[in-house]
Structure 1
Amino acid sequence: MIPFHVNNLDEIQWVDIVRRALEEELQCVDDDHPATISDVPKPLLCSKPEAYVPQMVALGPFHRHRQELHDMERYKIASAKRLQSLLPGANFHHIVNFFIKIELQIRAHYRRYLKFSGETLAWMMAVDVSFLLEFLRIFAVKNGEVLLGRTSSRLSHLVGCDRRTSAYNLLLCDVIMLENQIPLFLLHKVLELQHSSLQIAVEASFPVLIGFLKEVSPFKMLEISPWIDLGRYTHLLELLYHTVAPISEDHFETIEGDEMKSNQESIHFIKLFVKSTLEFISNRARTFILAVLKFLVTIPWRTMKSIPAMSIFTHPVEQLLFSQNDHTHPGPARDSNRMPLLEEIRIPSVTELTKAGIRFSATNGDISTIQFDAKSAVLNLPRISIDINAETVLRNLVAYETSIGSRPLLLSRYVELMNGIIDTAEDARLLSLAGVVSNHLKSDDEVAQLWNSMTRCVRLTRVENLDKVIEEVNRYYNGRWRVKMRKLMKNYVATAWECLALLVVVLFVLIASVQAFCVLFGCHPRYHGRRLL
C-alpha cells in the first residue's frame, strides 16, 4: 500500500517502490493476501501499553529502532549462523536474495508504510525468521510429546529446561503480539530451502506450530486439528485466533439439489405456519384470561389503593403480580444490525447467578461452545487457563480481531461476558470450583483483577450466539421469585422506612408541641377532668 503523504523518506527510494509496484502488478497479491499486520488500536494501546509493545525482542519492522531491544540482536545473529549450517548447498545470502525479490509481497502484509530499503528489509526479515524458527522448534510435538533439546546453547539459557524463566515468558508474549508478527510464508520459504520441497516444508511446520498453539493458547483443552490449512493464515496471531474463535458453520453455504431444497423449504414453511398459529391462539387465550382476572380484582383493588396507608404496599404488589403482563406483549423485534446499548451487555455476577440457581459447566472447546440450558439452569463455558501470559495473549487477540473488521467481534464479546460475570475474588473462586477457570496465578483476586482490567473493545457489536446466551441468562435470572423479591425489597423497603421515619418525626414534633403548650399554659388533670365531665 503506497501512502499519499510520505514524510522524511528518500525520494529515490519512494519512486523506486512505486515504479516496481506498478510494473510487477501486485494487485492480485493485495487481493489474495490483505494486510493483516497493523498497529494496535489507540484505545486499547493506551489502556495497557506493556501488553502490546514488545519488551524483549523485536520481530519485523515496527519496533526495529527501539534501543532497549537491541540486546537480542546477538541471539538473532547466532540463530542465523545456525540456520546457515542447516542449508544444504546454500548459504544465508540465498535467503536474503530471495527476500529481496519478493520485497513488495512482504510489504503488502503490513498496513503501516515501511521506511526501509528493499535490501534492509530483506536482511531484517531473514534474521528475524531465523530466530523465530529456532524459538518455535522448542514446541515441536511428536506422538503427543514435546521434543526438547532443539535449541542452541545461546537460547537455551533464556528458555530454560522447564520453560519457567521470566525471559521465556517475555519471549512468548513478544512473539504473539500483533505489532511483532512476521508473515508465515517467509518461514515456509526458509523451510523449503532446508527440505528441498514446499510440501515437505509445510508438513515439517505442523508439529512446530501445533506445539506452539497448545503452549500459548489460554484454552488448553482445545483440540487442535493436525491438518490446519496453513496457507489461509498470514501470521501466528491470526492462526491462534482462528483456533479459539473459529467461523461457525452458519457462515458457510451448502449446495443441495433443487428437489431436496424445495422439499425442505416446504416443510419449513409448514412448521413456521403451525408455530405461528399456536402462538397466536396461546397469546389470545392468555390475554383473555388476564383481562377477566384484571376485571374481577379492579374494584376491590382500587378501593385498597384509595387508602393512603395501603398505597405503600399495593404498588410493589402490583409490580410483583402484574409484571408478567408486560412480557405478553413484546415490543418490536430488535434490529440485529443496531449497535447494542450498554444496558444490554449487563449480566449478573457468578455469585448472583449461583444464588439464583444457575450452575456452571466447563467445556473442552472454543468460544462457540458457550450455551445456556434453561431447563437444567446450566451455563456452559469453555475451560480457560489463566497464567502470567494469558492477559497479553487475550489482549492481542482482541486487538487483532478489532483491526481486521471483517467479522463480528466474537472474542471481544466473550471477554465482555467474562468481565461481566467476574466482579470479585469469590466469582473467580466459584468458576475455579466449576472447572471453568484454571488459576495459575497467586490468588483468585488476581484473576478477578485481570478480567476487570480488560478494556471494552473499540466499538460495541452484536454476536448473535453470545447475545442470545446473555439474553437467556438474564431472562432466567430476572424470572426467579427470589430475585424479584430482592428487587422489591431494595426498591420499596427503603421508601417504607422513609415513611415510618417521617411519621416518627411528626409524632415527635406533636409531642414536643403538646409539652411546650403544657409548660406555657399549664395542663392540669382536674381541668381536663372537668371538661371531660
Structure 2
Amino acid sequence: MATEAEFVTAPSTPEPAHPMAPVAEPPPAAHQPDNLEIVVDERLRQHAGDDGSSSPMTIFRVPAHVRDASKELYEPRLVSVGPYYRGRAALRAMEQHKWRYLHELLAEYPAASLADCVRTVRGVEQQARRCYSERPPVIFAAQAQGGSSEFAEMLLLDGCFILQFFIKWFRREPDKLCDVGWGLPLLLSDLLLLENQIPFFVLEALFRAVNPQASRLGLLMLIVPHFKVEDSTFCKQVLAGVVPTQAAGEIHHLLHLLYEALVPREEELASAQASASPPPSPRHESRLPRMGLRLKTAVSKRFAFVRDMPRVPGWRRLSASMTLLRKVSAWFSKALIGVKTQTEAEPDDRSMAAPPPPMVVPSVTQLREAGVRFEKAPSPRHMFDVTFDAARGVLRMPRMEVDYANKAHLVNLIAFEQTMGGGDRLLSSYAALVGALVRTGRDVEHLQKRGVAENLLSGDGDAATRFFQQLGDCGSLDYGDHHFAAMFRDLSGYYHSSWRRHKARFLRDHCSSPWAVLALVVAGCAFCFAVIKFGTTVYGLAHPYCHC
C-alpha cells in the first residue's frame, strides 16, 4: 500500500530566467532613524510655531562684543526682568522683593484674585515666548516639558513687580527698597535696558486683570510721567487724557515706550521745519563785487588827473612805478570780474546734483577756528532741535547733561532703534553728530562755557572719551541719507572755506580784546596817513610848478 510520502511530487528543476524578464525586489526593511535625525526632530518640535507670523521678535540682545566692552551699560545691576538674566547670582536678592510686590498688589486690588492673574499669564505665555530673539534655558524648559510653569511664573512676578513699582511711585508711597539713595535710580535704569524687558502686552493684560476698568491710557498715565520728558508732545497728550498716535499701535516693551515718548515722529519734524523761519541769505558774498566796482569807479574819478598829467621830464622817473600800478589795477579788475561771474553763476551751480555728504564733521575746536559760534538753543522743541545758520556761522544746540545715567538710556535707545529697521534713525544720526563734534576735552570745555553741555563726570577728557565717543558703538548709519546729512555738508563746507578761516583768524588775532582793537585802529590811521603822504608826493611830482 502506497504511503503519503509517495504521492508528494518532487520539486522540479527551475528553468533559467530569461535575460529580459524583471527580477522581483525584496520587501523593504523597516526604517531605523539615525540619532542625528532624532535630535533634529526634537529641536524642530521645540521651535514649532516660532516663525514670527503671529508675534514677531521684539526683544533682542546687544552684540556680544559691544556688551562685553561696556557691561555696565547693557546689563542690569539690581533687578532682572525677562529670561536673559534670570537666575544670575548678583540679582537674586531682588526675587524676594518681587514676591512682596505681588502680595501688595493683590492685597490692594481685592477684586482681582491670584487665579485671575495666573489665567491671564497662561493666555499670553505662548505669544510672549515668541518675542525673544534668543531662547534661554527657561524658555526651552517650558517648551520641552510642556507643563513647566517657570516661564509663566517669571512673567507673573516681573509683570506685577513693574506694575506695583510704578503704582507706588505714582502715589508717592514710601517703600523700603526705593527709599534707599541708590535704589530708585538703579531700578529705573534697569527697567529701561534693551535686554531686560518683558512684552508690553503682558503688562496690559495683568493691569486689566487687577483693574478690569483700566485701559491703555490709564497704564500710560501711570508710567510716562516718570520718563522725565514733560516737554515732549507725547507726554503732553498723555497728561491731557489723549492716547498719542505713537501709542495707538503696538508697543513692544518699556524701552519702546520711552523711545516713542522721546523721539518725535517724521510728521512732527516736518511741521517744525516748515514753521521755522528760513535763515538769512549770505548777502556779503553778493555785495562784495558791487563794493569793489564802486570803489574802482570812485578811485578812477578822484585820481582822474593822473591820466591827464602833462609829460614833464620829472615824470619819467616814475614810469616804472606807474607801470606797476597799472598792472595791479588790471589784476584787481580781472579778479572782480571773476568774482562777479562766479556770483552770477551760483544759482546754476546750486541746481546741479549736490555731492554726497561727508561721514564726519570737524570738531568744535576746528569749527571755532573757522569762525563758527556755538549757542544754546533758547526754546528747543526736543533734543534733536539742532540748527546751523551758515550765513552767520552759528550752531545752536539744546542743553545736554553728560552723566552715566543719560548715557545708559541713550545707548540702549540707539540699540533698540537698530532693531526697528528703516526709518530716519534720529538717535543714531544725533549720536554721529555729537560724536564727531566732541572729540577732546577742549571741545567739552567750550560747550560748557557756551551753556550747551553740563558735564557731571570727573573731567572734560573723561566726558569726551567715555560719553560722546561711545554713544554710537551699537549703531550703524547710512551717511548718505540721514537726518543731519545736510548739516554735515554745511559744516564741512563752512570749515573748508579759506575766506572764513582767514576772517576768523583776523578777528581772533586783532579783535579779541580792547587793546588789540586799539592797536588795529592806530595801525589803520598810520596807514591812511601814509597813503595821503604818498598821494601828495605823487601830486607834487606831477605838478612841480603848482604851489597850491
The verdict on a shared fold, with TM-score over 0.5 as the criterion, is: yes
TM category, shorter: 0.5 to 0.7
Contact 2:80 2:91 (8 Å CA) reproduced:
yes
Distance (Å, rounded) in 1 between the aligned partners of 2:254 and 2:112: 27
Q: Specify the code of the residue in structure 1 equivalent to 2:87.
A: H
Listed as ranges, the matches of 1:444-459 within 5 Å are 444-449=460-465, 450-459=467-476
Which of 464, 468, 476 aligns to 2:486? It is 468
Distance (Å, rounded) in 2 between the aligned partners of 1:331 and 1:55: 55
Report percent identity of matched pairs.
25
1:210 aligned onto 2:224 = yes
Contact 1:44 1:457 (8 Å CA) reproduced:
yes
Q: What SS does the aligned partner of 1:59 have? A: coil
Contact 1:139 1:209 (8 Å CA) reproduced:
no
Corresponding residue for residue 270 of structure 1: none
1:381 aligned onto 2:401 = no
1:177 aligned onto 2:193 = yes
Corresponding residue for residue 295 of structure 1: none
1:72 aligned onto 2:94 = yes
Which of 25, 50, 54 aligns to 2:72? It is 50
> Measured at CA, do residues 40 and 194 of structure 1 come closer, stay the same or move farther in structure 2, by a change above 3 Å?
same
Q: Specify the code of the residue in structure 1 equivalent to 2:114.
A: F
Distance (Å, rounded) in 1 between the aligned partners of 2:108 and 2:43: 34
Q: How far does residue 251 in structure 1 lie from its aligned partner after superposition?
A: 9.6
Corresponding residue for residue 372 of structure 2: 357
1:60 aligned onto 2:96 = no
Q: How far does residue 236 in structure 1 lie from its aligned partner after superposition?
A: 1.2
Corresponding residue for residue 259 of structure 2: 241
Q: How far does residue 335 in structure 1 lie from its aligned partner after superposition?
A: 8.5
Corresponding residue for residue 333 of structure 1: 353
Listed as ranges, the matches of 1:57-136 within 5 Å are 57-113=79-135, 114-117=139-142, 119-136=149-166
Contact 1:419 1:451 (8 Å CA) reproduced:
yes
Q: What SS does the aligned partner of 2:83 have? A: coil
Distance (Å, rounded) in 1 between the aligned partners of 2:257 and 2:498: 42
Q: Specify the code of the residue in structure 1 equivalent to 2:363.
A: S
Contact 2:106 2:210 (8 Å CA) reproduced:
no
Deviations 1:271-320 (A, max 9, x none): xxxxxxxxxxx9xxxxxxxxxxxxxxxxxxxxxxxxxxxxxxxxxx9xxx
Q: Specify the code of the residue in structure 2 equivalent to 1:210.
A: V
Contact 2:494 2:500 (8 Å CA) reproduced:
no
In angstroms, what is the RMSD of aligned CA positions?
4.1
Contact 2:372 2:393 (8 Å CA) reproduced:
yes
> Measured at CA, do residues 213 and 417 of structure 1 come closer, stay the same or move farther in structure 2, by a change above 3 Å?
same
Distance (Å, rounded) in 2 between the aligned partners of 1:385 and 1:72: 30
Contact 2:46 2:140 (8 Å CA) reproduced:
no
Residue ranges of structure 2 left out of the alignment (5+ in a row) = 1-35, 143-147, 272-285, 287-334, 506-548
1:346 aligned onto 2:360 = yes
Distance (Å, rounded) in 1 between the aligned partners of 2:490 and 2:131: 41
Q: How far does residue 40 in structure 1 lie from its aligned partner after superposition?
A: 0.9
Q: What SS does the aligned partner of 2:140 have? A: coil
Corresponding residue for residue 403 of structure 1: 419
Q: How far does residue 110 in structure 1 lie from its aligned partner after superposition?
A: 1.9
Q: Specify the code of the residue in structure 1 equivalent to 2:140.
A: K
Distance (Å, rounded) in 1 between the aligned partners of 2:154 and 2:459: 42
Distance (Å, rounded) in 2 between the aligned partners of 1:427 and 1:477: 16
Contact 1:221 1:364 (8 Å CA) reproduced:
no
Larger radius of gyration: 2
Distance (Å, rounded) in 2 between the aligned partners of 1:8 and 1:172: 45
Distance (Å, rounded) in 1 between the aligned partners of 2:483 and 2:442: 27
Q: Specify the code of the residue in structure 1 equivalent to 2:490.
A: E
Distance (Å, rounded) in 2 between the aligned partners of 1:350 and 1:359: 8
Q: What SS does the aligned partner of 1:83 have? A: helix
1:148 aligned onto 2:172 = yes
Distance (Å, rounded) in 2 between the aligned partners of 1:384 and 1:486: 27
Distance (Å, rounded) in 1 between the aligned partners of 2:40 and 2:231: 51
Distance (Å, rounded) in 2 between the aligned partners of 1:102 and 1:13: 23
Q: What SS does the aligned partner of 2:59 have? A: coil
Q: What SS does the aligned partner of 1:179 have? A: coil
Matched residue pairs, number?
Answer: 389
Listed as ranges, the matches of 1:255-274 within 5 Å are none
> Measured at CA, do residues 133 and 8 of structure 1 come closer, stay the same or move farther in structure 2, by a change above 3 Å?
farther
Q: How far does residue 445 in structure 1 lie from its aligned partner after superposition?
A: 3.5
> Measured at CA, do residues 468 and 42 of structure 1 come closer, stay the same or move farther in structure 2, by a change above 3 Å?
farther
Contact 1:387 1:439 (8 Å CA) reproduced:
yes
Listed as ranges, the matches of 1:379-528 within 5 Å are 379-449=395-465, 450-462=467-479, 463-479=481-497, 481-483=499-501
Contact 1:41 1:403 (8 Å CA) reproduced:
no
Listed as ranges, the matches of 1:267-282 within 5 Å are none
Q: How far does residue 245 in structure 1 lie from its aligned partner after superposition?
A: 2.3
> Measured at CA, do residues 359 and 195 of structure 1 come closer, stay the same or move farther in structure 2, by a change above 3 Å?
same
> Measured at CA, do residues 81 and 166 of structure 1 come closer, stay the same or move farther in structure 2, by a change above 3 Å?
same
> Measured at CA, do residues 456 and 60 of structure 1 come closer, stay the same or move farther in structure 2, by a change above 3 Å?
closer
> Measured at CA, do residues 16 and 457 of structure 1 come closer, stay the same or move farther in structure 2, by a change above 3 Å?
closer
Q: How far does residue 474 in structure 1 lie from its aligned partner after superposition?
A: 1.9
Contact 2:414 2:472 (8 Å CA) reproduced:
no
Distance (Å, rounded) in 1 between the aligned partners of 2:392 and 2:468: 27
Between 1 and 2, higher relative CO (CA 8 Å, sep ≥ 6) is seen in 1
Corresponding residue for residue 16 of structure 2: none
Contact 1:349 1:422 (8 Å CA) reproduced:
yes
Residue ranges of structure 1 left out of the alignment (5+ in a row) = 1-5, 141-146, 254-281, 283-316, 488-533
Contact 1:478 1:484 (8 Å CA) reproduced:
no
Distance (Å, rounded) in 2 between the aligned partners of 1:15 and 1:474: 56
Deviations 1:366-420 (A, max 9, x none): 2442222223322232332223311111111111111222323321121111111
> Measured at CA, do residues 12 and 62 of structure 1 come closer, stay the same or move farther in structure 2, by a change above 3 Å?
same
Q: What SS does the aligned partner of 2:195 have? A: helix
Distance (Å, rounded) in 1 between the aligned partners of 2:253 and 2:204: 11
**Mean Cα deviation higher: 385-394 or 71-80:** 385-394
Q: What SS does the aligned partner of 2:149 have? A: helix
Distance (Å, rounded) in 1 between the aligned partners of 2:349 and 2:38: 64
Distance (Å, rounded) in 2 between the aligned partners of 1:83 and 1:123: 16
Indicate the structure with greater helix content. 1
Deviations 1:492-532 (A, max 9, x none): xxxxxxxxxxxxxxxxxxxxxxxxxxxxxxxxxxxxxxxxx
> Measured at CA, do residues 14 and 426 of structure 1 come closer, stay the same or move farther in structure 2, by a change above 3 Å?
same
